[in-house]
């Protein structure tokens, strides 16, 4: 697909941009002209692959590494971002226009199974990291910018099998709401995009044909979401077309909860 102009001249940071949904978001934003910082935590090869794919598509991107969920993670992420941006694209100037808080881990455990360690870990990666990334990112985000938080449809229904994970995403949902109000005077919009069952590596049980079929059947379209299904929504919310939308929770589940 050829490059369109919608995000031309903008700098974006996609956390967890190396794989899964984040990879699709990075590719989509870059295809529309954004310069994209593809963040990853551990899998350097995946980040390099995503950057190469973007370059092959005619876009511009660079990888940045920072492990999230550990003390000082946000500081490490922003120093890597500042350093690599200045090295890769000095003409873009410091700062960014689009921040996508996408990196996350799952925790498929019930309340009886979750240990204190599990709980701290999933909150550290999914809720604490985006909070401090935003806290330290506010000065870097340009006026008129966009924040998109990737939550989950699991915050809107009872889902005991992933209770602690769902609680982390509920915290993220609130971050969207409060910051949307606070950042409005700067014309920055803050929104949540909530995927449903999406085909990525986060959920290894998708390899099981029965589970796959059951999760596909949850959508009114009778299929799993593709990462691109989510990326298209994120690219819209991040665009000027969505300038009048802020503080919202956008369902990107393929209608999982439409009927009884
Ligand atoms: P994924 O395929 O497992 O990719 C996760 C991404 O996050 C990778 O780039 C990974 O990089 C990064 N990441 C994970 N833990 C990290 C850490 N501790 N430090 C730094 N980076 C880390 O996951 P996904 O399915 O695309 O999920 C993306 C987001 O969508 C998550 O927030 C998830 O909760 C949400 N979501 C997914 C689904 C679904 O069904 N897939 C449904 C609802 C919501 P490294 O591998 O390099 O660490």
Residue 50 and residue 17 in contact, taking contact as beta carbons nearer than 8 Å: yes
| Closest residue CA from atom 31 of ligand 1 | 104
Please give the average per-residue pLDDT across 56-79, as a whole number.
Answer: 98
Q: In this predicted model, what pLDDT tens digit does every residue of 239-255 receive, in sequence order?
A: 999 999 999 999 999 99
Q: What per-residue confidence (pLDDT) applies to 4? A: 78
Active-site positions read 165
Q: What is the pLDDT of residues 25-43, one digit of tens each?
A: 999 999 999 999 999 999 9
Atom of ligand 1 nearest to the CA of 195: 43
CA distance 219 to 27: 25
pLDDT average, residue stretch 40-68: 98
With a pLDDT cut of 70, the percent of the chain lying above it is 99
What separation in angstroms does the CA of 257 have from each of 20, 215, 218, 251?
23, 12, 8, 9
Pocket test for ligand 1, best of 67, 104, 122 (most atoms within 8 A of CB): 104
Which residue puts its alpha carbon closest to atom 11 of ligand 1? 40
Q: How confident is the model at residue 260 (pLDDT cuts 50, 70, 90)?
A: confident
CA distance 229 to 217: 17
Residue nearest to atom 22 of ligand 1 (CA): 41
Residue 1 pLDDT exceeds 50? no
Among 148-157, 161-170, 199-208, which stretch is predicted with the lowest mean pLDDT? 199-208
What pLDDT score does 3 carry?
54
**What is the model's pLDDT at position 202?**
93
Radius of gyration of the chain (CA): 17
The reported pLDDT for the residue numbered 2 is: 47
**Can you tell me which atom of ligand 1 is nearest the CA of 18?**
9
pLDDT above 60 for 125: yes
Domains of the chain: 3-252 (3.40.50.720)
Q: Which atom of ligand 1 is nearest to the CA of 70?
A: 18
Q: Give the position, in ligand 1's atom list, of the atom nearest the Cα of 66.
A: 20
pLDDT above 80: residue 112: yes
Q: Chain-wide mean pLDDT for the chain?
A: 97
| Residues with a CB atom less than 6 Å from ligand 1 | 16, 18-22, 40-43, 67-69, 102-105, 125, 150, 152, 195, 197-198, 200-203
In this structure, which residue's CA is closest to atom 20 in ligand 1? 41
> Ligand 1, residues 14, 20, 69, 164: which to mutate, most atoms within 8 A of Cβ?
20
Residue among 18, 65, 103 to mutate when testing ligand 1 (max atoms within 8 A of CB): 103
Instruction: Answer yes or no: is pLDDT of 201 > 50.
Output: yes
Distance from Cα 185 to the centre of ligand 1, integer Å? 31
Strand 35-40's sheet: what is its strand order?
60-65, 35-40, 11-14, 96-101, 141-150, 189-195, 249-252
User: If DSSP codes are grouped into helix, strand and coil, which group holds residue 258?
Assistant: coil
Residue 114's pLDDT band (cuts 50, 70, 90): very high
């Amino acid at each position: 697909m050829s490059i369109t102009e919608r995000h031309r001249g903008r700098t974006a940071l996609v956390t967890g941009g190396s794989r899964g949904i984040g990879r699709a978001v990075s590719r989509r934003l870059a295809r529309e002209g954004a310069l994209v910082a593809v963040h990853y935590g551990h899998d350097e090869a995946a980040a390099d692959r995503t950057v190469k794919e973007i370059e092959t598509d005619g876009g511009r991107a660079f990888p940045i590494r920072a492990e999230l969920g550990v003390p000082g993670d946000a500081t490490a992420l922003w120093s890597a971002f500042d350093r690599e941006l200045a090295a890769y694209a000095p003409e873009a100037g410091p700062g960014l226009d689009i921040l996508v808080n996408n990196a996350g881990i799952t925790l498929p455990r019930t309340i009886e199974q979750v240990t204190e360690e599990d709980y701290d870990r999933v909150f550290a990666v999914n809720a604490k990291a985006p909070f401090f990334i935003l806290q330290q990112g506010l000065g870097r985000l340009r006026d008129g910018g966009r924040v998109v938080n990737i939550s989950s449809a699991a915050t809107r229904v009872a889902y005991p099998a992933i209770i602690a994970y769902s609680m982390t995403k509920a915290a993220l949902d609130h971050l969207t709401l409060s910051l949307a109000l606070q950042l409005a005077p700067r014309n920055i919009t803050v929104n949540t995009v909530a995927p449903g069952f999406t085909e990525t590596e986060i959920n290894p049980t998708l390899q099981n044909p029965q589970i796959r079929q059951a999760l596909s059947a949850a959508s009114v379209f009778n299929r799993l979401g593709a990462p691109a299904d989510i990326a298209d929504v994120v690219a819209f919310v991040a665009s000027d077309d969505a300038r009048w939308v802020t503080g919202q929770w956008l369902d990107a589940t393929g209608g999982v909860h439409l009927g009884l």
